[in-house]
Each structure stands twice: as C-alpha cells, then as structure tokens.
Chains A and B, each alone.
Chain A
Amino acid sequence: MPAAHAWRVARVTPLGELHAPPRMTAVLLRLTVQVVLVASLWDGLYAHTGTTAGLDRDQAVTYAVLAVLASRLRELDQYTGRDTVLQHLHFGTIVYWYLRPLPPRRYYALRALGEQLYGLVWALGGYAVCVAAGAVEPPASAAVAGVFALSLLLGQWVLYYVLLVLDQLCFWTVRNNAAMMILVFAQNLLSGVYAPLWFFPDWFVTLSSFLPFQATLSVPLSLYIGRIPLSDAPAELAVQAAWVVVLALFTRFLWRRAARRVISQGG
C-alpha cells in the first residue's frame, strides 16, 4: 500500500506533462535544436584545433551533448502547476503539506523522484538517437558504462539535495528569487554545463572541487568520455557519496527547523 501511495505522488508531475501535448512537443523541439546547436558549436570550434585541455573533438562534442541531455532530468515547470515551495509559502498553502498523512519531506522526495524518472526517459531517448546519429560516442567499455551510471545516479542525488536546500531557504526568506537564480547560475557554471570544467584555469578547477556542484554533472560526464580514468573512479565516487551523506544530514536538519516556522490559521 505505501508503494501505491508513493507511485501516486511520484507520477503527479509527469502526468501533468503528459496531459499537455504542446509542452511535450516544445520539449522535443527544444531538445533537438539544442543538441544540434551545441554539437555544431563544438565541432566548429575544434575545426582548427587538435586536443586542448586534455579533450579531443569527439570527447568535447560528446560531453556537450550529454550535458544538454542531462539537463532534461530536472527541468519540469513546477511553477505552472503552482507546486513550488516558494508559491506554497507565498499563498500560505504550505500548511497543507503539514496536515497530510504523508510527511512533507517524503512528499517532496517522491515528487522529485517522479520528475527525475520522467526526465530520464527523455534523456535516454535522446541518448539513443544521438548515439545512432554519431553525435555521441558510446562508452569505451562496459566498466566505463557501469561506473558512469553509478556516478550519474549519485550526481542526480546530489543535485536533488542542492535544489532542496534552495527550496528550504524559502522558509526563512520572504522572497528568494535572486538567491535561487544565483544558485542556478553557480550550479550551471561549476558543474560544467556552460563548458567542461577542464577548459577553465587550474585555480577554478581546484575551487570547484571543494563544492558539491561538480559532483552533479562534471564527474559523471568526465568518467564517460574518459577524461577521468577508471583508476580514479573510486575516489571520485567516494567524494560524490560523501556529498550525498553531508547534504542528506543537512537537509534533514533544515526540514526539522522549517517545520517550526510554519503557522496554520494565524498560529
């Protein structure tokens, strides 16, 4: 029975998407155009360059295309569904999260899980098409594929907690749009969405290694393209797992503190 309840919660956002065909068409078109543009860009940049920053043309194109596909994993428009924490706090409906038999922490986790699984279907579909079209190189070996899958899972887990911290911030700030945008920017820049971190100066790479963002995308994608060798994979996976544990404890603490700030019907 709990599994059935979990399934009902997890499928809310994907169902919303499936009932909006124009939005799905838009996602398909956007993903296609974005992949073509990004692949063309890196292809063009490498036209007169061999290997730079330890990446050759195929590695750079594969990285960039996979980064676009991975960004689909958590890109659903919750705002339209009026189910963001910020909106609930703004309209006062956050109190319902605390009146249901399902704890807010679990509700939030199940919604995110549903979104990520739905996004994964898109990403896998895109990946299959890109591999067939030759835009993405397949993994060098089964071991690389396995390590990449594990690293991607841990990376998505870290990303879930990073986004959760942002949402939890809403409990303490009346408005947090700017903080949200700054963190989204930090996430994109420091995880290697804009450009692989290997292209940045050494001090930048060192700085990002102390933050959780690079664990979300840069590590799994670098493992996939072979920029991080398999021999270094255990250490990288351990760092990702450590971030999962640290952020899990931190967000658990924040959920407890946040509950004390929720006021129902004037207190």
Chain B
Amino acid sequence: MKAVRIAWRVTCLNFRAQLEYRAEFLLMIAIGAVWQVSVIVFATVLLTRFTGMGGWDSSEVLLIPATRMLAHGLFVLVLGRMHFVGRQIQEGRIDIYLVRPMPVHRQVQLAYFPTNAIGDLTVAAGLMAGALSRSGLDWSAGRIAYLVAAVVGGMLLEAALFTAVAAAALRFPAADYWSNWLEELLGTFGSYPLNVLPRAVSGFLTYGLPLAFVAYFPAAVLTGHGHDTGVPYWLAALSPLLGALAYLGSRLLWRWSLGHYAGVNG
C-alpha cells in the first residue's frame, strides 16, 4: 500500500514537472494523437483502395486498429517507459536506480509522466467508439468481456516485447536500436488482417514476432473469422492469456538481465 502511495505521489510530481513547459506539454499530447492518426490514415487508405481485405469487410477490419491502438495507448500510459530504457542505460541512470530503495523496474516506469499517452488514448477511444458503432455484431456481455481482455492482453504483449528488448539492452546497449523498429512494425503490420500476407510472412508475424496476438487474432475471434487465421482456433482465442504469460516471462527475463547488469562501461 505504501508502494502504491509513493508511486502515485511520484506520478503527480512528474505530471506537474511536465506542465512546467506548457508548449511542450501540449505538443506531446498532439504527438500521441498524431502517431495514432498515422495508423488510422494508413489503415483507411488501404481499406478505401482495397475493399474486402482478406475476406473481412471494412467495419470488421476497423476493430483491429481500434483494439491495437487502445492497447498501445494503455501500454504507453502504464508501462511505456520500457521503450526508453536504452537511453537510461546509456546515460548511466540504471546505476543510480540500483542504489535506491525501490525496484529498478518501478523507478524506470516512474522516470517521467507520459504526456503523449493522453493523445494516444483520446484518439484510440474515439476509434474504438467508431468501430463499435459501425459493427454489426451483437455485443453481448461475453463479447464485451473478451474485448476488454483482448485490449489488456494486447497491452501486456506489447509491454512484453519492449521489456524483452530492454532486458537485452541491459546486457548489450546497442539492442535499443530494435525498440524503434518494433514500434514501427506494430504500427504498420498490426492493424489489418494478416491473411493478406503470404503464409511464411504471416507465420513470422505470429510465431517469430507475435504481433498477430495483439489485435488480429482477438478481432478474428470476435468477428467470426477465428477459423481462417492459419492457427488453431483455440490458440487465437487464448491471445489475451498469452499476452499475460508473455509479460510474466519478460519480467523474469528482465530480472535475470538486471542481475547480470555490469554498467555501460563494463
């Protein structure tokens, strides 16, 4: 309870610190929104020019970017500082965190307030509202519960991927290079049905870099395309649970890597 209180107080202070530079604060909100809009623009262009993508109609496809973007917005708000661990390692800040009486992971997450998450979540919530209003599905309690679980699972899976890269960066600081690419891949390939891609490529995005589990599989299960995804139905349906398991695994990896952390200078 005390840890939660401290985390909350630090977050409030971080928020006030962000307000110190008002123009930057507003621009950071804008950049969150702009980043999400770029995903919408890309998806809209594809949907407009290539109707019936992968056998999905446009209202069904819309559920994929909506789920992914909401999951991404929550990730940025709650666990997104993992994305910048590489820079903190390079600046030697991890060494400072290690001598403080608070877990390093928590200190990383409390390093600053992610103002851009406000823009991220605003646009994502708007898109989700639009996707749900255009959807012809019967939104029963079970479906809504699964959608909520999918968003949380997507957030945890994205966090797991960035935590794994951050854990690698603790040993090899140059690994930070991959986090930008990871974000780019999630934005570009996580927002539409992956069955438009050749089987080998969609297989890579399922088993190699599991971004299909973030939004594509949950949306497929919700819209009745769960049997056409190229993986067993049960596997697609378990996406939210896999997200949680992947996150737990990544935290273990983080703990192990931190135990072997030797500083940027060896």
A residues contacting B by CB (< 8 A) are 20, 22-23, 26, 30, 34, 36-37, 40-41, 43-49, 52-53, 77, 79-80, 173-179, 181-182, 185, 188-189, 194-195, 199-200
- Near A by CB (< 8 A), chain B positions 31-70 give 31, 34-35, 38, 41-42, 45-46, 48-50, 52-53
Q: Does B232 contact A (CB under 8 A)?
A: no
A30 to B184, CA, bound (A): 11
Chain A: minimal CB distance from B5 (Å): 30
A241 to B42, CA, bound (A): 29
Sorted nearest first, the 10 A-B pairs with minimum C-beta distance are A178-B27, A44-B196, A40-B201, A181-B31, A178-B28, A45-B50, A199-B45, A175-B24, A178-B31, A195-B45
- Near A by CB (< 8 A), chain B positions 181-212 give 181, 185, 188-189, 196-198, 201
Q: Does B233 contact A (CB under 8 A)?
A: no
**9 A-B pairs (CB sep. < 8 Å):** A41-B197, A45-B196, A46-B50, A178-B24, A178-B28, A178-B31, A185-B35, A195-B46, A199-B49
Dominant secondary structure of chain B at its interface with chain A: helix
Of B97-105, B126-134, B171-179, B237-245, the segment with at least 4 beta carbons within 8 Å of chain A is B171-179
Task: Give chain B residues whose Cβ lies under 8 Å from the Cβ of A174.
Answer: 21, 24
- Near A by CB (< 8 A), chain B positions 1-41 give 21, 23-24, 27-28, 30-31, 34-35, 38, 41
A93 to B174, CA, bound (A): 24
Say which residue of A30, A40, A185, A189 sits within 8 Å of B198 (CB atoms).
A40
Q: Does B257 contact A (CB under 8 A)?
A: no
A30 to B48, CA, bound (A): 29
Chain B: minimal CB distance from A78 (Å): 13
Residue of A nearest to B115 (CB): A178
Task: Give chain B residues whose Cβ lies under 8 Å from the Cβ of A199.
Answer: 45, 48-49
A200 to B23, CA, bound (A): 31
Chain B: minimal CB distance from A195 (Å): 5
Q: Does B255 contact A (CB under 8 A)?
A: no
Task: Give chain A residues whose Cβ lies under 8 Å from the Cβ of B196.
Answer: 41, 44-45, 47
Residue of B nearest to A186 (CB): B34
Chain B: minimal CB distance from A113 (Å): 23
* From A23, A178, A185, A199, residue with most partner B Cβ within 10 Å: A178
Task: Give chain B residues whose Cβ lies under 8 Å from the Cβ of A195.
Answer: 42, 45-46
Task: Give chain B residues whose Cβ lies under 8 Å from the Cβ of A47.
Answer: 196
Are A44 and B31 neighbours in the complex by a CB distance under 8 Å? no
Chain B residue total in the interface (Cβ 8 A) = 34
A34 to B189, CA, bound (A): 11
Are B50 and A52 neighbours in the complex by a CB distance under 8 Å? yes
Are B41 and A80 neighbours in the complex by a CB distance under 8 Å? no
A188 to B180, CA, bound (A): 15
Chain B: minimal CB distance from A23 (Å): 5
Chain B: minimal CB distance from A93 (Å): 15
* From A40, A43, A189, A200, residue with most partner B Cβ within 10 Å: A40
Are A36 and B201 neighbours in the complex by a CB distance under 8 Å? yes
Are B24 and A177 neighbours in the complex by a CB distance under 8 Å? yes
Chain B: minimal CB distance from A56 (Å): 13
Task: Give chain B residues whose Cβ lies under 8 Å from the Cβ of A188.
Answer: 38
Residue of A nearest to B195 (CB): A44
Task: Give chain A residues whose Cβ lies under 8 Å from the Cβ of B185.
Answer: 37
Task: Give chain B residues whose Cβ lies under 8 Å from the Cβ of A46.
Answer: 50
Are B30 and A22 neighbours in the complex by a CB distance under 8 Å? no
A48 to B23, CA, bound (A): 47
Residue of B nearest to A195 (CB): B45
A149 to B111, CA, bound (A): 46
Are B34 and A185 neighbours in the complex by a CB distance under 8 Å? yes
Are B50 and A175 neighbours in the complex by a CB distance under 8 Å? no
Are B197 and A40 neighbours in the complex by a CB distance under 8 Å? yes
Residue of A nearest to B26 (CB): A178
Given A45-B53, A175-B21, A23-B177 contact (CB < 8 Å): yes
Residue of A nearest to B54 (CB): A44
Are B52 and A48 neighbours in the complex by a CB distance under 8 Å? yes
Are A23 and B174 neighbours in the complex by a CB distance under 8 Å? yes
* Interface contacts beyond A176-B24, A177-B24: sample of 17 additional A-B pairs, CB < 8 Å, sorted by A: A20-B174, A26-B174, A37-B197, A40-B197, A40-B201, A41-B197, A44-B197, A44-B198, A45-B50, A49-B49, A174-B21, A175-B21, A181-B31, A181-B34, A185-B31, A195-B46, A199-B49
